[in-house]
């Protein structure tokens, strides 16, 4: 079974993290398939926007620590740093607008995927948590996306407290586009993705290109900077 599924919807594509038994936790295969799905969507001229969501009512619970600590170690573990970089590189380079449907939670590595959204739709009772500080670890990919989009004040609140921020707070801070009833997140995110994809002349894609036109670094340079500044304990399980 694919751990990332794709569905075309007349001009836009849904990419679904599909490990519901683990609340869509991150492992090597999920990182690889996510990168492949994003690259394929970006290369398809019929796709004008992307929806990233999680299966069965949850977005992403972070790294699958059971697999990371398994004995014997999974064969992908030595490559996980490169795998996870590839997923974030694909998000960074995606020319199509990316909408994220944040149902229930987006924790640590899952938060980094949510923060990569151009437009984030979150449930009123759902939360985003960049919690690495609570276990003495850095959060380089979360930091990289936050520095791309947010003020220092917002970054400090999200990362230095390590606490959960729920939908209405995320909207108030400018992190989320919209907070809706928990049972309406996916429906609203689909509506928003379809709306963005439906604008004529590829306008949304061209606007996103202009949004990123100021950037002086490519994806790897940007993420390398965040990783170097993280310092300290940046083991595979900490690269979130």
Neighbouring C-beta atoms of residue 52, cutoff 10 Å: 30
Mean pLDDT throughout 128-144? Answer: 93
Nearest to 128 by CA among 99, 157, 180, 163: 163
Model confidence at 236: pLDDT above 60? no
Q: Please tell me the predicted confidence (pLDDT) of residue 216.
A: 63
pLDDT computed for residue 211 by the predictor: 85
Tokens 């004008």 belong to residue: 48
For residues 148-159, average pLDDT = 96
| More confident: 136 or 162 | 162
Mean pLDDT of 138-165: 95
What pLDDT sits at residue 69? 96
pLDDT at 22: 98
Q: What average pLDDT does range 130-136 have in this prediction?
A: 93
Element (H, E) at 168: helix 167-172
For residue 53, pLDDT beyond 50: yes
pLDDT of residue 225: 87
pLDDT at 212: 75
Closest to 98 in 3D by CA, of 80, 114, 122: 114
On whether the CB atoms of residues 237 and 68 are closer than 8 A, the answer is yes
**Quick one: pLDDT at residue 234?**
38
Average pLDDT, the chain: 93
85 Cβ neighbours under 8 A, 6+ residues apart? 220, 223
What are 14-39's pLDDT values in tens digits?
A: 999 999 999 999 999 999 999 999 99
When computed from its CA atoms, the radius of gyration of the chain, rounded to whole angstroms, is 17
pTM metric for this prediction: 0.94
Residues ≥6 apart with Cβ < 8 Å to 181: 123, 124
DSSP 19-57: -GGGTS-B-HHHHHHHHHHHHHHHH-TT--EEEEEEGGG
Which of 97, 122, 88, 113 is CA-nearest to residue 13? Answer: 97
Nearest to 160 by CA among 142, 182, 175: 142
Q: What is the mean pLDDT of residues 118-138?
A: 95
Residues 6+ apart with CB under 8 A from 229: 140, 143
């Amino acid at each position: 079974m694919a751990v990332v599924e794709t569905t075309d919807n007349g001009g836009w594509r849904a990419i679904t993290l599909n490990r519901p038994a683990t609340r869509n936790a991150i492992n090597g295969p999920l990182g690889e398939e996510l990168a492949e799905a994003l690259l394929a969507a970006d290369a398809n001229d019929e796709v004008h926007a992307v929806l990233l969501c999680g299966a069965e009512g949850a977005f992403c619970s972070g790294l699958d620590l059971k697999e990371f600590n398994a004995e014997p170690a999974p064969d992908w573990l030595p490559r996980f740093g490169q795998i996870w970089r590839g997923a974030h590189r694909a998000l960074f380079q995606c020319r199509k607008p990316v909408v994220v449907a944040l149902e229930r939670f987006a924790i640590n590595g899952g938060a980094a995927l949510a923060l990569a959204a151009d437009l984030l739709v979150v449930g009123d009772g759902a939360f985003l948590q960049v919690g690495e500080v609570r276990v003495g670890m850095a959060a380089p990919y979360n930091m990289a996306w936050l520095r791309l989009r947010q003020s220092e004040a917002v970054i400090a609140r999200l990362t230095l407290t390590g606490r959960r921020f729920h939908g209405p707070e995320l909207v108030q801070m400018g992190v989320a586009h919209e907070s809706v009833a928990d049972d309406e997140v996916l429906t609203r995110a689909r509506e928003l993705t379809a709306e963005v994809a439906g604008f004529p002349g590829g306008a949304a894609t061209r606007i996103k290109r202009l949004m990123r036109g100021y950037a002086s670094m490519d994806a790897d340079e940007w993420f390398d900077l965040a990783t170097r500044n993280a310092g300290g304990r940046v083991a595979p399980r900490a690269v979130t």
